[in-house]
A and B are shown apart, each in its own frame.
Chain A
Amino acid sequence: MSFCRSCCLLAVTALFPLVGCVSVPVPEDFLVVHETSGETQAVTSDQGRFWVREFANSQGADLEFWKEAVARDFVDNRGYTPVSQRAIVDAADRNGHEALYEATIQGIPHRYLLAIFVTKGWWSSQIRVIEFAAPVEEFEAQLASVREAISRLGR
């Protein structure tokens, strides 16, 4: 019994550093201000904001469904203006979707990037969401670096 317990403890101890190694790549010039398992927040020295999160895909829907649901909510409910959209892949070759929007918040035109990936594990499915927001000029300046960071996700 004691031997079994030791084996389990050893296995957990051996796996723990691997779990700890999973980190989210953050774009250049961004400072991580909050990081927990499955969530990372980073900001620039100005007004750029970068947020990576995961939500339970409890309905089990696929990427196409969520892509449409999000676009409908953003455009029809919130009045965002779509700028562009495209298919993307992460470092683990998972298919994702990137959409850019523009909206004026407190009189300042902002751009907003949303990238979503649907990941499926053995027991559950997750929706990984990456968001990047900034006033238009800063957004354009940081966009390439944000996209590069997103492409490194999932390594």
Chain B
Amino acid sequence: MVYEAQFQVLVAQTDTAIQRFLEATEESGGYLQARANHQIVCKVPAARFRDLIAELPKLGRVVSENIRAQDVTKQHFDLSLRLKTLEQALARLTELLARATEIEDVLAIEEQIRRLTSEIEQLRGELQFLDHRVAFSTVTVSFESQAPAPRRVRLRSHSRFPWINEIGLERILERL
């Protein structure tokens, strides 16, 4: 499976949040792939993907998330099969080349070998790329800085627990 996730996180300080997220990425065995302003793209070992995204709510408020999982088993199987077929063909051509005596035959077989070798290299590259996408999940996070003024009420204006209504930034500023 190839995992890709995109998040938008509201934080108090973007630089601090990005730094902490990068540290968590490195601790997970991952690395920074790209950064543009306050958006970063990280690669993380698939086994640590969930651990890393679990760090995000600790950095701020996650306001949007989009996680996709793509099954690439068939794609991987098809590529492997094509590669195996081409490698077998290449082996046969190499044998033929060893037995060829006519110059024309040698040239024709060498041309075929060149073509197959190029295709095999291309397929190997695609397989490596696919293996890497499976091994390392992609996490894209946009950090946004905002310290909003306290809002009044979304679901209710007060906590249902009286003591919680007695604490908080507004209370301490009012009373001390």
> Measuring CB to CB, which residues of chain A are less than 8 angstroms from any residue of chain B?
33, 41, 43, 49, 51, 53, 55-56, 59, 69-70, 73-85, 101-105, 109-112, 114, 127, 129, 131, 133
Contacts and interface: CB of A to CB of B under 8 A. Distances in A.
A82 B56 CA distance: 11
Given A49-B176, A55-B166, A112-B169, A102 B161 contact: no
Given A73-B159, A85-B58, A104-B148, A78 B167 contact: no
A76 B155 contact: yes
Interface string B1-40: 0000000001111000000000000000000000000000
Contact of A77 (B60, B147, B153, B176): B153
B159 A49 contact: no
Contact of A69 (B147, B157, B161, B168): B161
Nearest to B163: A55
Contact of B149 (A82, A84, A104): A104
Contact of A82 (B60, B164, B167, B169): B60
A14 to B, nearest CB: 34
Contacts of B146: 81
Contacts of B169: 78, 80, 101, 103, 105, 110, 112, 133
A78 B170 CA distance: 10
B99 interface: no
A82 B153 CA distance: 18
Interface of B is mostly: loop
B10 A81 contact: yes
Given A51-B176, A102-B147, A131-B172, A81 B167 contact: no
B173 A133 contact: yes
Contacts of B150: 78-80, 103, 105
B21 to A, nearest CB: 13
B68 interface: no
Q: Which of A43, A51, A56, A80 has the most chain B CB atoms inside 10 A of its CB? A: A80
B172 A112 contact: yes
Contact of A75 (B58, B61, B161, B175): B61
Given A77-B158, A81-B10, A51 B172 contact: yes
Contacts of A109: 147
A54 to B, nearest CB: 10
Interface string B28-64: 0000000000000000000000000000001011000
Given A69-B164, A73-B164, A83-B12, A33 B148 contact: no
